[in-house]
């Protein structure tokens, strides 16, 4: 359906809300998210869902750190693969339940997805992507003895940081396109995808985490999506955020957004990667749009009633 193919990048609160990290709590959060996504399918959207996995992969690494020597810990790329499967499984069950009483529901499939990165990406020399829980400064200093790097994160404590190279391609994109064209709802590129580099003998995983918003942008390009939808905790992107003159952006062109980025309006590690990913997508091909909004307002945002809509020019915003 023309104009109806979308990629949705879910924020962390779509899977884990608050500090409760039990499987039961995360399954409840996924169920609430699935109900909102199911409504979009009823509107006729062809959809691929992506999601983050920072808390989940961080918890898995902590569990492995306390494992017995006879059972060695798995590397980060394997942990990304494991959490992709886990979270995808939760979404499959939740979406199937959300479609239980709907006529002709789509089949939901999770594809464990690999994302190619450049081994010479400068990100490998400067780890910045936070994963896992927050620690006090004292606890973080003790954990650096394991060879990990910890940095202060937005005044909330210290978190482990790992390299975050830019995605170059997604190996399974043709499979994903085929599934979408056949009417299936696909969960893919979880946690930004499994980071791999290409060698003369095939693909090899690397110790890194790919930003989910940039991975979603690359995925949206490759499957020829019409709209990239980035869901976060706020209804709109805003300039002068948390200041008396805060202003919500409803419709913004690529050129305007570039000026706001250049003036430092968006926080690194928070809104900045989202608006940068949106900008890359709308500039990738004529007619493409991006939407940034909250999960509970996504239907209205896609209809142009709320949220922040981004396009190359104003005539593409209407």
Catalytic positions: 12-13, 129, 212, 274
> How far is it, in rounded angstroms, from Cα 43 to Cα 6?
12
Strand pairing of 247-249 and 227-232? unpaired
Q: Which residues pair with 188 in a beta bridge?
A: 111
Cβ neighbours of residue 57 under 8 Å, at least 6 residues apart?
A: 76, 79, 80, 83, 131, 132, 191, 209
Name the DSSP class of 101. Answer: T
Supply φ then ψ for residue 223, to 5 degrees: -95, 10
> How far is it, in rounded angstroms, from Cα 152 to Cα 135?
9
Q: Which residues pair with 222 in a beta bridge?
A: none
* Both tokens assigned to 267: 């926080």
Identify whether the C-beta of residue 306 lies closer than 8 Å to the C-beta of residue 288.
Answer: no
Identify whether the C-beta of residue 290 lies closer than 8 Å to the C-beta of residue 227.
Answer: yes
Strand pairing of 185-188 and 108-111? parallel
List Cα–Cα distances, 106 to 44, 93, 103, 219, in angstroms: 11, 13, 9, 20
Cβ neighbours of residue 104 under 8 Å, at least 6 residues apart?
A: none
Identify whether the C-beta of residue 175 lies closer than 8 Å to the C-beta of residue 188.
Answer: no
Name the DSSP class of 194. Answer: E
């Amino acid at each position: 359906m023309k104009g109806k193919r979308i990629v949705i990048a879910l924020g962390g609160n779509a899977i884990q809300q608050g500090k409760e990290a039990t499987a039961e709590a995360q399954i409840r959060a996924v169920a609430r998210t699935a109900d909102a996504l199911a409504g979009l399918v009823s509107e006729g959207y062809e959809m691929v869902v992506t999601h983050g996995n920072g808390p989940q992969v961080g918890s898995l690494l902590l569990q492995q750190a306390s494992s017995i020597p006879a059972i060695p810990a798995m590397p980060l790329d394997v942990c990304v693969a494991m959490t992709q499967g886990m979270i995808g499984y939760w979404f499959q069950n939740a979406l199937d339940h959300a479609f239980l009483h709907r006529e002709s529901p789509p089949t939901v499939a999770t594809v464990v997805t690999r994302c190619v990165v450049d081994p010479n990406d400068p990100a490998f020399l400067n780890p910045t992507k936070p994963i896992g829980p927050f620690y006090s400064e004292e606890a973080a200093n003790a954990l650096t003895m394991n060879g990990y790097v910890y940095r202060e994160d937005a005044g909330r404590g210290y978190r482990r940081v790992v390299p975050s190279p830019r995605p170059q391609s997604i190996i399974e994109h043709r499979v994903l396109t085929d599934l979408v064209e056949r009417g299936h709802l696909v969960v893919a590129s979880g946690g930004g995808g499994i980071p791999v580099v290409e060698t003369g003998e095939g693909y090899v995983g690397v110790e890194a985490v790919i930003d989910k918003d940039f991975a979603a942008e690359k995925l949206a390009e490759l499957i020829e999506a019409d709209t990239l939808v980035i869901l976060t905790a706020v209804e709109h992107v805003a300039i002068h955020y948390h200041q008396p003159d805060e202003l919500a952006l409803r419709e913004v062109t690529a050129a305007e957004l570039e000026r706001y980025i250049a003036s430092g309006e968006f926080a690194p590690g928070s809104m900045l990667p989202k608006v940068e990913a949106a900008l890359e997508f709308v500039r990738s091909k004529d007619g493409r749009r991006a939407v940034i909004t909250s999960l509970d307002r996504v239907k209205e945002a896609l209809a142009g009633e709320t949220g922040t809509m981004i396009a190359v020019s104003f005539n593409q915003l209407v």
